[in-house]
Amino acid sequence: MALISLGIDHQNASLDLLERVTVPEHEWSKILRTLMSQRNVHEAVFVSTCLRTEVVAVIDRFHGAIDEITETLADATNLGADEFKDKLTVHFDRGVATHLFSVASGLKSVVPGEFEILGQLRRALELAQEEHTAGPELTEIFHRALATGRRVRAETSIARGTTSFAQAAVAMALEELGDEAGDARVVVVGAGQLATGVVKSLLSTSAPIVNLTIVNRTHERAIALANDANDARVDVADFSTLHSQVRGARLAIVAVETPSPLLSLVDLDRSTAPLLIVDLGVPRAIASDVDALTGVRRVDISDLRERIERVLDERHEAADAAIEIVVADVEKYLDDQRARGAAAIVSELREYFDEIVATELARRENELGELSEEQRERIRSLVRSVVAKIAHRPTVLLKEAAGTDQGIRLNEATRALFDL
């Protein structure tokens, strides 16, 4: 069996495609169950965020698993496999560890070093464990990746300054507003992890936000977020008033998962004051036709990505240090895997030889009846010593070659020769 990761991310796909392949979290369990029903998939973790949809799995046949995972993604997103097949990124065995550790470290995020990805990966693993689709191999590699992600943020400056997608979005919005930011009335749509980060970032900014209204489908979650903020500038509005709340705002930041746009040109055509809308939804929560409205400016994740890419030079040194940690941790993980793999086959081989010795001695017990107990023990010791010497060279080779192509061949040959 082998490890594989297969997915679509912001580095290789357009925002339009990412929108179409994003899967809401309440559907992840169904995808995991479908993956586990496939012939070549033995363990699976699935994660789908605004900029990444990915499967990490333990598999049998490589090409068979690729086809099965691709078919599962196509069914879950109602897309034909041909629509995204050439955009898929595939990692195999060692490459999976390097990829996953890099993702957890924030090296493959729009905002290098951002923290949200750690929570997203942790939640993906927890759900897979709840659905019993993550076995020991995926559980370990995810735990090791998360540990590396925490280490990178603790030991490098990659997370200095803007460290989250939410912070980057708020910084972009306030830069767009300029001098108007201080007197802006702000609406935040959503109450999840991203929206929570947006609210906290807005309230902690140097711009004195006058009023911040939280609007969310589930009113109780909006109230909980407002209570957590514990700021007199924050209030909550019912979701039914969404259109009027946004029309009356200077800035609206939308951070929700929605299968179809919440607002369009028709909903905002009565806006009289200037309005900046930051749409962090994937799929988009604001219809692109609002761009036709005078006074309304809409920016989305693609704008945010372009802006961040212009300032990445500041973090090159920190990114290099983070890469060194990832490389070292991946090597340590692979060494541990090799050691465990060698230990398993060596243990089985020794048990096989011990069983032969025990069986043969028991079978010949009657033939040794005239010997004293001391003489019998000498014979037993001699047989065990001979067998141990015969087994010594194979066990040394198995340990030394563990994790290499030669080791894989020796492992398979040993199992075939001794029927392990």
- Helix pair angle (405-418, 373-401), 10° resolution: 150
> What span, in angstroms and rounded, lies between the C-alpha atoms of 390 and 354?
12
> What span, in angstroms and rounded, lies between the C-alpha atoms of 102 and 108?
6
356 sits in which H/E element: helix 316-363
Q: What number of CA atoms fall less than 13 Å from residue 16's CA on the CB side?
A: 2
Contact 142, 135 (CB under 8 A): no
> What span, in angstroms and rounded, lies between the C-alpha atoms of 149 and 171?
24
- With tokens 């011990």, the residue in question is 354
Q: Name the active-site residue from 35, 44, 47, 50.
A: 50
3-state secondary structure of 85: helix
Neighbours of 253 (CB within 10 A): 27
Peptide bond into 274 cis (omega under 30): no
Q: In the annotation, is 157 catalytic?
A: no
Give Cα separations from 13 to 117, 302, 328 (angstroms): 18, 11, 29
4 sits in which H/E element: strand 2-9
Contact 261, 298 (CB under 8 A): no
Cα 342 from chain centroid (whole Å): 29
Contact 398, 349 (CB under 8 A): yes
- What is the four-CA torsion angle of 48, 187, 111, 225, rounded to 10 degrees? -70
> What span, in angstroms and rounded, lies between the C-alpha atoms of 99 and 11?
13
| Residues labelled as active-site residues | 50
